[in-house]
């Protein structure tokens, strides 16, 4: 399953009302580390299909949501469970670190 592209029209439904844990990648086109993290996020989406929803939110196009979740540095990955942020990672991190967080959620 590919990543779900988020915006203000689907954020609530896809993230806050999700019945499975959700990873949200806050990113922007101009961000080098975001581009480096992209393949990692895609790999996680494939590896955890059916157990974890993997989403991407462009902060430039959705500043209201980015501000709501206090995004000041990107890439920022926030993990949601039952509509609440339960963990996060800021900056580029290896896939193994994100997998360790995910394993604690699912």
Which residues have a catalytic role annotated?
Answer: 31, 34
Between CA 45 and CA 43 the distance in angstroms is 5
Calculate the CA dihedral of residues 72, 40, 84, 7 and round it to 10 degrees. 70
Between CA 11 and CA 5 the distance in angstroms is 9
- Phi-psi map region of 79: left, alpha, beta (phi>0 left; psi -120 to 50 alpha): beta
């Amino acid at each position: 399953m590919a990543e779900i592209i988020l915006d203000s029209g689907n954020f609530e439904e896809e993230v806050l009302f999700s019945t499975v844990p959700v990873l949200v990648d806050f990113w922007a086109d101009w961000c080098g580390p975001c581009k480096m993290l992209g393949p990692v996020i895609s790999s996680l989406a494939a590896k955890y299909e059916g157990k974890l929803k993997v989403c991407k939110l462009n902060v430039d196009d959705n500043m209201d949501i980015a501000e709501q979740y206090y995004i000041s540095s990107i890439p920022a990955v926030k993990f949601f469970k039952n509509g609440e942020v339960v963990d996060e990672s800021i900056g580029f991190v290896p896939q193994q670190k994100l997998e360790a967080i995910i394993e604690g959620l699912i």
